[in-house]
Amino acid sequence: MNLAIVILNWNGKELLAKFLPSVIEHSATAQIYVADNASNDGSIPYLKDQFPRIHLIENPTNGGYANGYNMSLKHIEADVYCLLNNDVEVTANWLDPIFDIFKKEPTTAIVQPKILDFNNKDTFEYAGAAGGFIDKYGFPFCRGRIFNTLEIDEGQYHDNADIFWASGACMFIRKNVFDELNGFDGSFFAHMEEIDLCWRARNLKYNVKYVADSKVYHVGGATLTNTNPQKTYLNFRNSLFMLVKNLPTNKLVSVLFVRLFQDGIAGLRFILRFQFIHFFAVLRSHFSFYMQLIRRIRSRNSELKIEKYYKTKSIVWSYFINKKSVFNRL
């Protein structure tokens, strides 16, 4: 099985210097690519000088995560892509368990390893943890991470498990499935695009899986931190885009109505915390959503939608009202 590891980079010269050596050391059986999104920090000359054997793809513009990968993967032939953030440290033998799953399970199209926090290596990392799920209203959470509560890795998720979405920080996907899905939705730019991709794959009856014997460490927030209002804007807007695209028809109106109401509550919470820039980010996300609603409806996948797409009805209720902050207690 031919694997291409593709690291998307935008002004991440220091991250590449720190994390690319671990990828090279522990990925002897793979071809390694760095896809650069028009960096201006000297990333390209640095790579050519320090890592001349790495395959380099130079995108003409910064298309974000979604279009960055869409542009780059057109130039790469492989059976499986590994989409890897430039702030991820990989470990010895991280690839073998992934290969085993792809070889044994032909309907498994997307796989995620165990993702731990680089700075707290016994703790699950926010972006993916032990595999992702969503609630009925599209709010994402993970085994090992609900909202900002992170669990210690005590072996509670040391298994192979079916999940709803795999983290874009480290995602393995069969090339033929990526092509069948026409890649990421480029209009997302960044955030939620991997959930949308996995949802569309599941609508086509492909499986998404978490494999615990493969382990990586992720820094997280290297591009946009949680305090950045642009991240708030993209998360709220793209979540609404994703729901319109993928919800079963009989759930579309009712779920969207509740989700928009919940977003309003979130906006009010930002006001009460004097986080006005985040309130305006939510407002801007809704304005953008309404402006594009007709186009989003036209982009709905005509394939049969999976009816039970969610793990729990409301993770907001479970977490904030019922005080359930651990996945296994949901």
pLDDT value of position 301: 75
pLDDT value of position 299: 84
pLDDT value of position 225: 56
- What is the DSSP pairing of strand 80-85 with strand 170-174? antiparallel
Cβ-in-10-Å burial (0-12, 13-18, 19+) of 316 comes to middle
pLDDT value of position 304: 67
Distances (CA, A) of 131 to 67, 104, 173, 266, 273: 24, 20, 15, 25, 31
pLDDT value of position 288: 97
> How far is Cα 83 from Cα 6, in angstroms, rounded to an integer?
5
Q: Distance of alpha carbon 86 from its chain centroid, rounded?
A: 14
Q: Alpha-carbon torsion 42, 48, 49, 52, what sign? A: positive
Distances (CA, A) of 321 to 110, 200, 316: 33, 31, 8
pLDDT value of position 115: 98
Distant-in-sequence, close-in-space partners of 20: CB < 8 Å, separation ≥ 6 = 7, 34, 51, 54, 86
276-291 helix and 229-246 helix, angle to the nearest 10 degrees: 30
Distant-in-sequence, close-in-space partners of 235: CB < 8 Å, separation ≥ 6 = 191, 192, 285
End-to-end Cα distance, the chain = 38
> How far is Cα 303 from Cα 55, in angstroms, rounded to an integer?
37
Q: Which of 254, 251, 315, 259 minimizes the C-alpha distance to 289?
A: 259
Q: Using the structure block, give the residue that is written with the tokens 């986080």.
A: 275
Per DSSP, 165 falls in state B
Distances (CA, A) of 260 to 115, 274, 283, 325: 31, 21, 11, 23
> How far is Cα 272 from Cα 253, in angstroms, rounded to an integer?
29
Q: Using the structure block, give the residue that is written with the tokens 């130079």.
A: 58
Q: Where does the chain show beta strands of DSSP type E? A: 3-9, 31-37, 55-59, 80-85, 88-90, 108-117, 132-134, 140-142, 145-146, 149-150, 160-162, 170-174, 207-218
* Residues written for the chain: 330
pLDDT value of position 166: 98
Amino acid at site 227 = T
> How far is Cα 186 from Cα 64, in angstroms, rounded to an integer?
8
10-residue mean pLDDT series, the chain (330 residues)? 97 98 97 98 98 97 97 97 98 98 98 97 97 97 96 98 98 98 95 96 96 96 68 96 94 96 96 96 97 91 79 95 96
pLDDT value of position 223: 52
pLDDT value of position 300: 86
Neighbours of 24 (CB within 10 A): 15
> How far is Cα 328 from Cα 324, in angstroms, rounded to an integer?
9
Alpha helices in 150-251, H assignment, sequence order: 175-180, 193-203, 229-246
pLDDT value of position 305: 78
Give SS3 for 194.
helix
